[in-house]
Chain A
Amino acid sequence: MNLNATLFAQLVVFFILAWFTMQFVWPPIVKALDERAKKIADGLAAAERGKQDLELATKRSTEALREGKEKAAELIGNAEKRAAQLIEEAKVNAKAEADRIVAGAKAEIDQEAVRAKEQLREQVASLVVSGAEKILRREINTQAHADILATIKQDL
């Protein structure tokens, strides 16, 4: 419990050790700690940003998906409409064509019928004439009654 010069020696050692810590121990460790704190803060901020970006991207992709679906539906609708239109047109065309063909055939038939009638008439006329000739050979002079015969022929 005696006091002696050790006290002063200890005092000097105290300051030397404190100085050493101040110079070589404290600053690097505090720097490392501060840097790490900053890194962690940056990392957290980046994570937060990433989260926001993700949210935004999700929203955007949903939007794009919705738009795509709408467009596709529209396209399909248009295509269906167009197809119906085409079918309708084809139907109309086909009908017109059929009508035309039928009309053509009818006209031909009519013509044919008219021609056949004509032939028939002529044949009937000649038959009638020849019949009448046979009946009237004796009484009728072909030359004298030629005009009558022509009129009959005409009327048939």
Chain B
Amino acid sequence: MSTAGHEAAANAPTAGEYIVHHLTHLNTTGHAQKDIIDFTVLNVDTLVFSLLMGVLGLFVMWRVAKSATSGVPGRMQAAVELVLEMVNEQAKGIVHSAESRKAVGPLALTVFVWIFLMNSMDFLPLDLLPTIWQTVTGDHHAYLRIVPTADLNGTLGMSIGVLLVCLYYNIKIKGFGGWMHELFTAPFGSHPLLYPINFAMQMIEFLAKTVSHGMRLFGNMYAGELVFMLIALMGAAWAGTATGVFLFAGHVIAGSIWAIFHILIVALQAFIFMMLTLVYIGQAHEAH
């Protein structure tokens, strides 16, 4: 992360500018998005890196699946089988329909592997890819964020995907009429006066589930990224000062500790997102 230090010294951005620059997406407009919601803008970096990670994860698993043997498995196959069995066991415990599990299992596996890889982008040195990108494009102010799950669009996109799957199973299992009946009679009971309240509660539930699902992952990864930036800033401040040697040492120590702790968060958040996906789909299977 000394590159950050040199660049910070050369261009002399303030700490605030450094962080804001690092939190701005490379999007189709070329500058930071002004409005909170603007559907004409596309975050190119989030899309590219999430696609890259998705393709990488699936390619590796596909290679294994193609040559999968029921005899003695190789190390790679054993590793993929381990993950798959873990996901499958969780799915069996939560989604009780074997028919649904044929689709839900792969979905949960995709979610787990994909999010794990996207979260793992945090382990790359903070300024490595942005600096390479700035060198390649020749624009020293080019934006680039490499962790797709630290972008709310990325995580909400996935949680809305899970919501759609939930709606699909609600209708598939209970029938459209049955689901409508549930929307108006659960959780408080079947009484005309309670219909609006029930419906409102159901809507709030769906909204809360989806938003919290996406927000949880986003918040964790965003905060993790931010801490990495603060640690990088601490290291960057040492340049040119004699007492700053301590700051450099602090950067190394704090950076190591945080990176090691972050391994837990990366795996844990991927697991939590997968588990919640299964839980929500499992709930869609249960009639009230």
Contact = CB atoms under 8 A, between A and B. Distances in A.
Interface string B38-73: 111111001100110010001001101110111101
B47 A10 contact: yes
Contacts of A36: 70-71, 73
Given A7-B160, A8-B157, A18-B110, A25 B65 contact: yes
Contacts, number: 144
Interface in A5-52: 5-11, 13-15, 17-18, 20-22, 24-36, 39
Given A3-B36, A6-B43, A14 B105 contact: no
A156 interface: no
Contacts of A2: 33, 35-38, 41, 152
Contacts of A5: 39-42
Interface residues of A, number: 33
A6 B65 contact: no
B7 to A, nearest CB: 25
B84 interface: yes
B41 A25 contact: no
Nearest to B41: A4
Contacts of A24: 62, 65
B150 to A, nearest CB: 10
A26 B65 CA distance: 7
A144 interface: no
A65 to B, nearest CB: 42
Nearest to B51: A13
A15 B88 CA distance: 19
A101 to B, nearest CB: 92
A29 B111 CA distance: 17
Nearest to A22: B106
A2 B40 CA distance: 12
Interface of B: 27, 33, 35-43, 46-47, 50-51, 54, 58, 61-62, 64-66, 68-71, 73, 77, 80-81, 84-85, 88, 102-103, 105-107, 109-111, 114, 148, 151-154, 156-158, 160-161, 164, 222
Given A18-B161, A25-B106, A32-B68, 17 more contacts: A1-B222, A5-B40, A6-B43, A7-B160, A10-B156, A10-B158, A13-B157, A15-B161, A20-B58, A20-B110, A22-B103, A22-B106, A27-B65, A31-B70, A32-B81, A33-B85, A39-B70
24 contacts: A1-B152, A2-B33, A2-B41, A2-B152, A4-B27, A6-B42, A6-B47, A6-B157, A9-B157, A10-B46, A10-B158, A11-B161, A17-B54, A21-B61, A21-B106, A24-B65, A26-B102, A28-B68, A29-B65, A29-B80, A30-B88, A33-B85, A36-B70, A36-B71
